[in-house]
Amino acid sequence: MTKRNLIPLIIGCTIGCTITIMTTNCTSSTTNKDGGAVSGSREFGKTPSGETVELYTLKNAKGVEADISTYGGVLVSLKVPDRAGALGDIVLGFDDFKGYLLPPPYFGALIGRYGNRIAHAKFKLDGTEYKLAKNNGDNSLHGGTRGFDKVIWKAKPVNGQSLELTYLSKDGEEGYPGNLSVTVVYTLTDNNELKIDYTATTDKDTVLNLTNHSYFNLAGQGEGDILAHQLTLNADRYTPVDKGLIPTGELRKVEGTPFDFRQPHTIGERIGSSDGQITLGGGYDHNFILNRSGEGLSLAAKVTEAKSGRVMEVLTTEPAIQFYTGNFLDGTIHGKGGKVYGRRSALCLETQHYPDSPNHPSFPSTELKPGATYHTTTVYRFSTGS
């Protein structure tokens, strides 16, 4: 039986949480033990088939706020303080729900069943070949045509500090086997951490790789590019790709390459390098293998932005992280507040298993079997520096 990251994790918010789940046009209101209110949802919009989409707000004692949509489980906005204490929204997205109905960039969305690419949109499991939608050249990307970013999740506020989202992905959905029951819990702690817990069970052998696809710009969404952001990645190796951005199977050392972020570097410093992998990715669009010691949360990445002083640390139980520099953004998308999202106007740090693992037996397994529970946790921790 495949066991993946079954360690329970307890972080942050142990004492004195005053996290609030708020909404405008509240329909109901409850209170957690520390006084935070839990309210009903406000309508964010309607899908073309007439389903109502709701937007929930989590707010902590320090005023940090996260808006989460039931459509795609999208993190629509995340307001965190700069060094002067001023809140700024640091994720790309749309004010109007309709923006999320347009073709990807997957702003803020939950990604499933399989984060990143599966080569030739097929894989074999237990001797059976499963065919997926080809929505990225010859490959399948981020769960297919209607991935978890495009479904409506059932939402339930929990303990006055979290929002629980659930979704049942039926056997055969987007070509994947098994009825898959998925729960994602967003928690905002008083330590300014946004924690995302992913849990899933299946009734048939299947493969699974869940993540969140937030686009961060610590200077504020729409405030220019991220080339001056400083990045540290706790990774000695990465998985080089072919021209379709599918891992070749090689695990390559970062040492001596533009992929070496073991010490902080600005993102722009080597993004124009003639390294063949940078050329293939059009910048950084690669899976980094995290240096881990055992299971549990460990620090994967740290990003700092000098002007605002904002710092983001990413901790995860996952074995890898996709670092993507928004190379496909081209200025055609106008997002929140009418901001133009140009090339490299944000970065993604998608915690995950390796892309195309179902076709690479040497990669850590992404199989989930009946009776086992998939559980992974990722924490985005915010602070400010000098």
**Nearest-angstrom CA–CA distance, 322 and 213:** 10
**209: DSSP letter:** B
Which of these ranges, 6-14, 256-264, 321-329, 359-367, lies near ligand GLA under the rule CB under 6 A?
A: 321-329
Nearer to ligand GLA, 231 or 348 (CB): 348
Polymer length in residues for the chain: 386
Nearer to ligand GLA, 56 or 148 (CB): 148
Which of these ranges, 10-18, 80-88, 98-106, 291-299, lies near ligand GLA under the rule CB under 6 A?
A: 98-106
β-pairing, 285-290 vs 211-213, is unpaired
Q: Going by C-beta distance under 8 Å and a sequence separation of 6 or more, which residues neighbour residue 256? A: none
**Nearest-angstrom CA–CA distance, 144 and 142:** 6
Q: Which amino acid, one-letter code, is at 138?
A: D
305: helix, strand or coil: coil
Among 106, 153, 167, 341, binds ligand GLA (CB under 6 A): 106
**Half-sphere exposure of residue 45: CA atoms within 13 angstroms, side-chain side:** 16
Encoded one letter per residue, x for contact with ligand GLA by CB under 6 A and - for no contact, window 261-290 reads: ------------------------x-----
The one catalytic residue in 54, 174, 213, 318 is 213
Shortest distance (Å) from residue 132 CB to ligand GLA: 15
Q: Are 347 and 219 in contact (CB under 8 A)?
A: no
Encoded one letter per residue, x for contact with ligand GLA by CB under 6 A and - for no contact, window 324-363 reads: x---x-------------------x-x-------------
Among 245, 267, 300, 346, binds ligand GLA (CB under 6 A): 245
- Is residue 259 close enough to count as binding ligand GLA by CB under 6 A? no
Which of these ranges, 26-34, 41-49, 101-109, 125-133, lies near ligand GLA under the rule CB under 6 A?
A: 101-109
Question: Does residue 350 carry a catalytic annotation?
Answer: yes
Nearer to ligand GLA, 138 or 328 (CB): 328
- Is residue 104 close enough to count as binding ligand GLA by CB under 6 A? yes
The encoded tokens of residue 324 equal 């993507």
**Nearest-angstrom CA–CA distance, 117 and 142:** 6
CB-count exposure of residue 158 (10 Å: 0-12, 13-18, 19+): middle
Nearer to ligand GLA, 43 or 242 (CB): 242
Shortest distance (Å) from residue 350 CB to ligand GLA: 6
Q: Give the residue among 285, 231, 295, 237 at the shortest CA–CA distance from 263.
A: 231
Nearer to ligand GLA, 188 or 245 (CB): 245
Q: Are 368 and 352 in contact (CB under 8 A)?
A: no
Q: Which residues of 159-170 are buried (b: 16+ CB within 10 A; e: fewer)?
A: bbbbbbbebebe
Residue with the closest Cβ to ligand GLA?
324
Which of these ranges, 67-75, 104-112, 252-260, 298-306, lies near ligand GLA under the rule CB under 6 A?
A: 104-112
Q: Are 53 and 47 in contact (CB under 8 A)?
A: yes
- Is residue 91 close enough to count as binding ligand GLA by CB under 6 A? no
**Nearest-angstrom CA–CA distance, 182 and 198:** 7
Among 5, 116, 187, 189, binds ligand GLA (CB under 6 A): 116
Shortest distance (Å) from residue 348 CB to ligand GLA: 5
The one catalytic residue in 350, 353, 360, 375 is 350
Size of the site for ligand GLA (CB under 6 A): 12
Q: Give the residue among 75, 366, 349 at the shortest CA–CA distance from 233.
A: 349
Shortest distance (Å) from residue 48 CB to ligand GLA: 22
- Is residue 141 close enough to count as binding ligand GLA by CB under 6 A? yes
Angle at 113 between CA 112 and CA 115, to 5 degrees: 55
Nearer to ligand GLA, 104 or 309 (CB): 104
Nearer to ligand GLA, 324 or 354 (CB): 324
Among 73, 105, 175, 335, binds ligand GLA (CB under 6 A): 105
- How close are the terminal C-alpha atoms of the chain, in Å? 48
**255: DSSP letter:** T
DSSP string, 229-245: -EEEE-EEEEE-B-TTS
Q: Which residues bind ligand GLA (CB under 6 A)?
A: 104-106, 116, 141, 245, 285, 322, 324, 328, 348, 350
Q: Which active-site residues does the annotation give?
A: 213, 350
